[in-house]
Structure 1
Amino acid sequence: MATHLILASNNRAKLAELERLLAPLGIAVQSQAELGIAEADEPHASFLENALAKARHAAAASGLPAIADDSGLCVAVLGGAPGVGSAHYAALEAPAGVDRETRRALQDAANNRRLLEALRGTRDRRASFVSTLVALRHAGDPEPLVAVGRWPGEILDAPRGDGGFGYDPLVWIAALGRSVAELGAAQKNALSHRALAARDMLALMREHWRP
């Protein structure tokens, strides 16, 4: 069993989520940024292809097992958009000199505005958060572990809640009567698309990566 994984992402929120979700296996997760590894290109049309490319990049650069998540919001009436382009759905001209986290917050707000505009006057608001996790023992691993989680909801007419990140304020979970941004961290981690994918990944690691 791997005891140390490189996360092929520089997203601090994603790192924190995966650290908690993989804790039952005693696996330490370290961001590739801590090793000075640049983010990989994500030129592909599917979450699976992009996650695999990112995991291979991180494993090759670090010489360690790696895990990558490619995730996003898929809106039914938009044919799955924003999809793999969720993080940069809207064009953004951020002020010069802003730090990474501020830029990310500005991008999230711009993405949400664009999505609301795209759905203006649309009654079909069905959407799903989708997460695809890929784990590799090494860059040339011929048997990557793949887990997919889907968390269905509906797009609100306006943001609600201050928690989470990305599209969380716009995604309404009817069964809970709240937006994702109104959920506590523990509840979100138990129910989210990434949590569902992580549970499947835990089972796959136990089965295929056991000592």
Structure 2
Amino acid sequence: MTRKLDHGKLVIATHNAGKLKEISALLAPYGLECVSAGQLGLPEPEETGTTFAQNALLKAHAAAKAANLPALSDDSGLSVTALGGRPGVYTADWAERQWFEGPEGRDWYMAMGKVEGLLAEQGPDVDRSCWFSCTLAIAWPDGEEVVYEGRVEGTFSWPPRGTLGFGYDPVFVPNGKDVTFAQLDPAQKQVMSHRADAFAKLVAEQFEG
């Protein structure tokens, strides 16, 4: 039987303000007080895993132990069919840290441009299908853990469009839509995103099961 989250404080193991806002909104109906690892001044552990699940668990356990509270982490990324699934687990690494973005900032436009450059090299008829993956990991201070995985399919679009999302959202057009995640109202995105898919599984087991 999966361990359940108690109502109370939950550490969101991220320093990304956009990700914290999105996760907090998804958890708001369940009586959890969300605080980020960044707000608590916790260091970011080095992501040495080779899968989303490994990195998500690594971050969740580090935050849970440091704060002595249950922690939720999210490891997510963009995989492009024509690039053999890259950038995948290295999605954030393709967005190199830049001094003008602040100590935790990354240059996401650079990352999107790298993907576009590699696709353009393959010619105008290149397969632009791609998908976002999300792995959510919950860890408790005593070492217990649970993982939930979600996915959404789409197309890599260029040039970037929209200002409402973060990361690679401005180039991702979900199947069935003609706008990018960064052009969608956040409430619409939350219903259909990879993170929403993973959260639906988390909610079903943690709060409804």
TM-score when scaled to structure 2? Answer: 0.89
CA 90–11 in structure 1, closer or farther in 2 if over 3 Å, else same: closer
User: Quick one: which amino acid aligns to residue 189 of structure 1?
Assistant: Q
Match 1:38 to one of 30, 37, 43: 43
Q: Does the Cα contact within 8 Å between 2:169 and 2:180 map onto a contact in 1?
A: yes
Match 1:59 to one of 51, 61, 64: 64
Q: Does the Cα contact within 8 Å between 1:50 and 1:70 map onto a contact in 2?
A: yes
**d(CA) in 1 for partners of 2:204, 2:24:** 16
CA 203–165 in structure 1, closer or farther in 2 if over 3 Å, else same: same
**d(CA) in 1 for partners of 2:59, 2:208:** 23
Q: Does the Cα contact within 8 Å between 1:133 and 1:147 map onto a contact in 2?
A: yes
Question: Equivalent residue for 1:74?
Answer: 79
Matched, 1:83 2:84: no
Q: Does the Cα contact within 8 Å between 2:60 and 2:73 map onto a contact in 1?
A: yes
Query: For structure 1, which segment, 127-136 or 154-163, has the greater mean C-alpha deviation from structure 2 after superposition?
Result: 154-163
Matched, 1:12 2:17: yes
Question: Equivalent residue for 2:29?
Answer: 24
Question: Equivalent residue for 1:49?
Answer: 54
Question: Equivalent residue for 1:197?
Answer: 198
Q: What whole-Å deviation, never above 9, does each CA across 1:162-184 have from its counterpart, x for those lacking one?
A: 22011111111241221111101
Query: Mind listing any 5+ residue stretches in structure 1 that lack a counterpart?
Result: none
Question: Equivalent residue for 2:118?
Answer: 118
* 1:61 Cα deviation after fit: 0.5
**d(CA) in 2 for partners of 1:116, 1:83:** 15
**d(CA) in 1 for partners of 2:103, 2:109:** 14
Aligned length: 201
Question: Equivalent residue for 1:157?
Answer: 158
CA 165–64 in structure 1, closer or farther in 2 if over 3 Å, else same: same
**d(CA) in 2 for partners of 1:132, 1:30:** 19
Q: How many percent of aligned residue pairs carry the same amino acid?
A: 38
Query: Mind listing any 5+ residue stretches in structure 2 that lack a counterpart?
Result: none
Aligned partner of residue 182 in structure 2, secondary structure = helix
Q: What whole-Å deviation, never above 9, does each CA across 1:33-79 have from its counterpart, x for those lacking one?
A: 22221011101110000000000000110111011000010111212
Match 1:127 to one of 130, 148, 152: 130
Taking only aligned residues, the RMSD between alpha carbons, in angstroms, comes to: 1.7
CA 70–139 in structure 1, closer or farther in 2 if over 3 Å, else same: farther
TM-score when scaled to structure 1? Answer: 0.89
Q: What whole-Å deviation, never above 9, does each CA across 1:110-133 have from its counterpart, x for those lacking one?
A: 101111001112521110011000
Greater than 4 Å deviation, 4+ residue runs: none
**d(CA) in 2 for partners of 1:41, 1:201:** 25
Q: Does the Cα contact within 8 Å between 1:149 and 1:197 map onto a contact in 2?
A: yes
